[in-house]
Amino acid sequence: MENSGLPEQAYYSWIQTVSAIGPIVRVAPNEIHVNDAEFFQSVFVAAAKHRTDIIPPRGLGQDDSIGSTPTHDMHQMRRKPLDKFMGRQNIVRLQHIIHEEIRTLDRKMAALKGTGKRVRLDCVFTAFTGDIVGQIACGESPALLEGPDFTPEWYDMIRGAARIIPVLRHFPQVGEITQKLPNWLVQALVPRSAGFKVLQLLGEKRIARIRTEIMTEPKGGHEGDSMFHHLLRSDIPDSQKETARLNAEAVSFLGAGTYPTAATLIFVVYYILADSKIEARLRNALKDVMANFDEEVPNWIKLEQVEYLDACIKEGLRLLRLFRRKSRISTDLDLQYGDYVIPKGIPVSLSPYTMHMDPDIFPEPETFNPDRWLTKNPDPRMERHLNPFLGGSRNCIGMHVAWAQMYLILGTLFRPNKSYQLELGETDESDVYPVIDNEFGVAKYGSRGLNAVVN
């Protein structure tokens, strides 16, 4: 799909222009953009290789979060207590939380069988991911999936918050002011900012509750098992446990942990339902691993080994369109790109979008084609250049939660021999295809969403 010229697609046009100029371009007085995926590993590096700073975003209510921490040392100090908790091994241990939500999802879908009622799967997935992030981050599920019609107001709030991100990035003062105003006034003056305010209030309430739980728990006893329980019990300085700082973390996790995963699921499910051959192949691939679903939800690790399911998820992540360029600052080493020496201290950016849409690596890049990952001799650059969670010491700390949800949700919805069948409702590709730059791509204004009927 082509750029329609919307202001929100300015970055789409920008990236096409920069790509046409050459592989290395000065895009600001103090920033270099490199349009070469092979350079990704030199910029997005592990902490052991060299120190990495960032230019922090402002106005999003996340200034003190891990993801927005500008300096290397502060970032490492804030992230270290959570690396193990959010690591793959611990998320495998905590996947019973996702399993419980999977049972709720399956029960709710089965209850809609034969009613003829239209189901907004975009609301379903946003409710699911919101419940999981709430449970893992705060130890409390908001029960969005159990709400009427899967709590569409949560989807509307998250999507509304996402849509104002480009405005807040250019005019951060708007976000900084609204964070200090009462919610009713924000809703009246800047309704699209209200989503961030609601996330802020949700975070404050949960952090206060967890702080009280820890103060009153028996000596030596750890009753709560969530990210914030873990963080508040850690040995980081007390200044890093202040409510304002932790609230920035809550806003970041509740927002970033909800919509990107849901958006990937929306995209993947549309293409599966729109192509009967893809759906039939996926159902067949899931036959063995999902055979005993009624007795036991399978381990996420087993679903990872279903190659066709894995390929569908990778295609969804590739096509999600992380439009915005991502930059890193090497603070102690110069970087070498061909004949160019990039001095330390200069921000260097790359774009996941151009990496994921490179026709030399991904032929017909606009096409959803899981088979590209299953060829006899796949191009090794595909795996190397698929970086939806970025990389290095600042990669997405919640990526294992996202992976687990995607495998388990898709495995559940498309397993064979279940009592219900999903069919597309009043939805076409334009209703789900990401064309608007809101940090990650979202569908057009006026989108009808991902509608389905349960038969």
CA–CA separation, 172 and 165 (whole Å): 9
Residue type, 200: Q
Residues 355, 360, 364, 370, CA torsion sign: negative
CA–CA separation, 173 and 207 (whole Å): 26
Q: Which run of H or of E encompasses 24?
A: strand 24-28
Instruction: Write out the two tokens for 186.
Output: 């924000």
Q: Residues 6 or more apart from 411 whose CB is under 8 A from it? A: 286, 289, 290, 298, 303, 306, 309
CA–CA separation, 122 and 124 (whole Å): 5
Bridge partner residues of 422 (DSSP):
454
Residue type, 263: A
Instruction: Write out the two tokens for 162.
Output: 């996402």
Give CA 56 to chain center in angstroms: 19
DSSP 207: H
Question: How many contiguous H segments (helices) and E segments (strands) does the chain have?
Answer: 20, 12
CB atoms within 10 A of CB 352: 25
Count of residues making up the chain: 455
In the chain, the N- to C-terminal Cα span, in Å, equals: 31
CA–CA separation, 436 and 438 (whole Å): 6
Residue type, 443: A
CB atoms within 10 A of CB 304: 15
Query: What values do phi and psi take at 454, rounded to 5?
Result: -100, 115
396 annotated binding-site participant: yes
DSSP letter string, 332-351: SS-EEETTEEE-TT-EEEE-
Binding residue positions for heme: 396
- Residues of the binding site: 396
